[in-house]
């Protein structure tokens, strides 16, 4: 059985799951519980209030957040598998910068929804999904799911930025470089998956620009990281 990662070498998400008293869940079980709890609550509220259109958007958001959990675990496993500089591990796992980025993204999103594009108008996103007065429980679940999505956006962006910094600063042997390229591919794949949110924000230019801009930025940064890994590994061979 593989040893559990130590605190300080884990995402905040992993630390929370691992710190639950008296509970020792494998990664797959934690992810399964996440999607079952969120999706069950979503469908129950949609059935009770008749908000099936909102349930579709909510389900897509839950899928994005759940896949984000899987990708975070996969990236963490890959990075911890190889011998990488401690500076990189500390930046990726211990700095909690991804939480700061997630909070900033979440506050910006909530400000947009309730101030820039307030939910009481028929043309607003909240108005179209939930009507002029969303039920309290629906609003609570909405904000919780949106936080989960924003947290995955923040971690994806931070994984991309630290990967580029790592690839530009250090050189690795071919085996290590191959594992790190796989980790970067996971980051890139999750970024591209987030484009499934685009159909729900097509009529909202600010949100559309935020989602597409984020995915484009992650794509560019992780691609540069992969190219640098390949080139610097190749330079070392010759």
- Banded pLDDT at 131 (limits 50, 70, 90): confident
Please state the rounded mean pLDDT for residues 167-177: 93
Range of the domain at 230: 12-237
Please state the rounded mean pLDDT for residues 68-80: 90
- Domain-embedded: residue 2: no
- Domain-embedded: residue 5: no
- Domain-embedded: residue 3: no
Return phi, psi of residue 169, to 5°: -90, -35
More confident residue, 16 or 186: 186
- Domain-embedded: residue 4: no
What was the pLDDT predicted at 28?
A: 74
Segment 137-166, tens digit of pLDDT: 998 999 999 999 999 999 999 999 999 999
Q: Contact 194/211 with Cβ under 8 angstroms?
A: yes
- Domain-embedded: residue 205: yes
What was the pLDDT predicted at 176?
A: 94
Domains held by the chain: number: 1
What was the pLDDT predicted at 53?
A: 85
- Domain-embedded: residue 216: yes
Neighbours of 117 (CB within 10 A): 17
Q: Is the pLDDT of residue 2 over 80?
A: no
More confident residue, 119 or 209: 209
Of the chain, the percentage scoring pLDDT greater than 90 comes to: 61
- Domain-embedded: residue 7: no
CA distance 196 to 179: 27
- Domain-embedded: residue 42: yes
CA distance 213 to 27: 31
Q: Of 170, 25, 194, which is closest to residue 86 (Cα–Cα)?
A: 170
Q: What is the 3-state secondary structure (H, E, C) of the chain?
A: CCCCCCCCCCCHHHHHHHHCCCCCCCHHHHHHHHHHHHHHHHHHHHHHHCCHHHHHHHHHHHHHHHHHHHHHHHHHHHHHHCCCCHHHHHHHHHCCHHHHHHHHHHHHHHHHHHHHCCCCCCCCHHHHHHCCCCCHHHHHHHHHHHHHHHHHHHHHHHHHHHHHHHHHHCCCCHHHHHHHHHHHHHHHHHHHHHHHHHHHCCCCHHHHHHHHHHHHHHHHHHHHHHHHHHHHHHHHHC
What is the reported pTM?
Answer: 0.86
Tokens matching residue 118: 């307030």
Tokens matching residue 173: 């042997």
């Amino acid at each position: 059985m593989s040893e559990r990662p130590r605190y300080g070498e884990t995402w905040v998400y992993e630390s929370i799951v691992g710190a639950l008293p008296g509970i020792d869940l494998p990664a797959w079980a934690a992810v399964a519980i996440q999607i079952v709890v969120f999706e069950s609550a979503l469908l129950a509220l949609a059935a009770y209030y008749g908000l099936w259109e909102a349930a579709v958007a909510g389900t897509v958001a839950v899928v994005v957040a759940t896949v984000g959990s899987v990708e975070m675990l996969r990236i963490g496993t890959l990075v911890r598998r190889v011998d990488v500089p401690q500076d990189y591990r500390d930046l990726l796992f211990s700095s909690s910068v991804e939480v700061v980025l997630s909070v900033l993204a979440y506050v910006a999103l909530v400000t947009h929804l309730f101030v820039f594009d307030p939910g009481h108008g028929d043309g607003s996103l909240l108005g179209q999904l939930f009507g002029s007065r969303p039920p309290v429980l629906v609003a609570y679940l909405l904000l919780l799911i949106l936080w989960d999505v924003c947290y995955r956006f923040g971690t994806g962006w931070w994984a991309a930025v630290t990967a580029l910094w790592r690839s530009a600063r250090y050189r690795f042997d071919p085996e290590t470089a191959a594992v790190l390229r796989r980790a970067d591919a996971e980051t890139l794949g999750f970024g591209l998956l987030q484009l499934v949110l685009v159909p729900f924000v097509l009529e909202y230019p600010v949100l559309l620009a935020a989602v597409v801009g984020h995915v484009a930025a992650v794509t560019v940064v992780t691609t540069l990281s992969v190219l640098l890994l390949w080139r610097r590994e190749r330079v070392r061979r010759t």
